[in-house]
Structure 1
Amino acid sequence: MNVKESQTDLKGLSRSELEAFVKSLGWERYRADQIFAWIYRWGVDDFNKMTSLAKVKRQKLRETARISALGLRRQVTSTVDGTTKYLFQLEDGQSIESVLIREGNRRTVCVSTQAGCGLGCVYCATGDVGLRRSLQAAEIVDQVLSVRRLLPQDKTITNVVLMGMGEPLLNYEQTVKACRLLNDPDGLAVGARKITVSTAGVVPGIRKLAREGLRLGLAISLSATTDEDRDKLIPLNRKYPLAQLMTAAQEYVQATDRPVTFEYVLIGGVNSTSEDALRLAKMVRGIRCKINLIPYNSIPGKPYHRPSKEEVANFMGLLYPRCPTVTLRESKGVDIQAACGQLRGEENFTR
């Protein structure tokens, strides 16, 4: 066993785990609060900089612990809308992508929860990579810390969306642990209402998340209005069909008193008909929700294309009087392959 393997990685530990660690060193419990703040509030990854701890304690931490860090390999910023995409390397050499979206005073980080993805949604580039592995909570949170470190001193992260590479609810425990760390008022202090978990429809995960007491935002990638169509686009639907998914969505709303967001990727000639719009309006009736319409972002090698402006206008025109909250989301970072469905890892990184 090398030194790194014998040391405890403090990044990603829950409050109780960090308290147990300092207790094992014979230290007072409040030392855990100090270390927690240094790591998350101040973004420190060097024990020497933890100046509220005596030198002897800092030396003890160097001997027994470490603070893991992602390696930034590349970054590129859109010349169209200022969106920035980051390519991070994990300690085992795997690569993931994160995206910073700038909109007025909002700075939203889109983070990955897995290296790759195993769901195989046919219109998404990430699925082509396959699932390499799930991320640890430290690796999820560190995407936010790393991006924050690269911002000007007077700027901070306002929102976090778990919509990058991977299916968050198939990495459930680490995803929830990361969300609690992001939300902690003594750390990054991102409000629960500013954290959104996106899922392709993992029904047991939705139900479990509803009982966590976190009241996070939930976004569900719908993208079809019949099981026949959704089976083709999102193979997970064969396991959790639409009826189960919509029931779980309603249960989430009731348990959290938060509306859900249904993400509907509009693919030209595939799911953009008048019939689809009317079925969608009927499906969400009675559920507190918002519908995000996302015109498809073209991906090299995929047989799909963006809908015409007429298709989009017709779809919205049919939906809007029947659904009170419908938005048309123009994706950010399309020119750098950083938009919805375009993240792929190193193979896809635009210089």
Structure 2
Amino acid sequence: MRLSSRAVRGGGLAALAKRVCIGSVVMASLLAAGCGSRPEEGFLAPVAEIDPGSTAHTLLVATTRKRDDRPGTLFNGERSTPLDFAKIVVSVPEKHAQGEVEWASTAPGSSKTDFVVRQANYLDDEKAFVSTLNAQLAARPKGKRNVFLFIHGYNTMFAEGLYRFAQVVHDAQAPGVPVLFTWASRGQVTQYVYDTNSATAARDDLERTIRLLFASNAEQVNILAHSMGNWVTVEALRQIRISGGLPHVSKLGRLVLAAPDIDIDVFKSQMRRFGKPAKPFFIVLSKDDKALGASNFLAGGTSRLGAASDSDELAALGAIVVDMTDVKGLDSSNHGKFAQLAAVAPRLNAVLEGGFTTPRSSANAEEIASGSLEAIVKLPITIIGAPFRLIAGR
């Protein structure tokens, strides 16, 4: 019996729906493990009392999310145009554990024990955003006027993206002005397709944000993207390349793609458009990333860049691969290990800024195995870090 095209299409849609359903259940079990209630409402209300031992970080926000009228929420997971902006001061508690976000048990929390907001204001437009950014840059000495741009991933509520970025900034002792680009993720594991479309729809807005940062008074712009945020980041950079490039492109510092949820063949195609970059970029991956395993399933079995097994192939594309497989994750999915990398960022930066040199004569196999960041050899290299590996190509 010959099946009609309608039946075939119907069967295909049914199979796709089943795959999405199963994949969402798998992701839910992975990402929800160990988590309490999500910070959907009220966790961004400014607190009145500030503990003197806490540390403040001023974050600027560019977003495609819709404003939320609920007190202490600011933005939700619905899409909005044009770009919106905000300035938020986040407080990190004195007894903060590196790699963690200390969430309040009830909103808005206490600055003594929790991540909280000290101050939050919407900005009127991109002119106000750039003016605020330049004021933040001017408050830093010359040579330190950098921007640190972060693009979050799938299943991320606004408060989660904000506080995770504040944690990374704090642990990494990042000297630049932190700028969060947050696209309209609904923060629900069952909304993978919606989030994918939201990320894709945000490409032009991220491109615009990047152009604003490069046109500002920043001396350098460093970019960190996580998970699905890598898709919108690489696409925005691809659009910039197609449109003729970026003025002041020399301002581009480090580009870090952490646990990238990108089809590896799509990424290779994107890199063919880019060509091998003048500066190496970084891919942070972990071969035990269970969330990317679920994404792989949803994508029909195609490998994700953040779970790639051939690090040498990625290095040949111009990447320095940071393999964190041997690092014990703080979450059951092993998808958020990049946040733990922030704790060793100051030492890692010192190594990278010093360049890749021949190993010290005193370096030996035992020292390398113990995780010394000083045991470095010429490219192409394998550096055993603490306890991650760096793999670079020529």
TM-score band w.r.t. shorter chain = 0.3 to 0.5
TM-score, structure 2 as length reference: 0.36
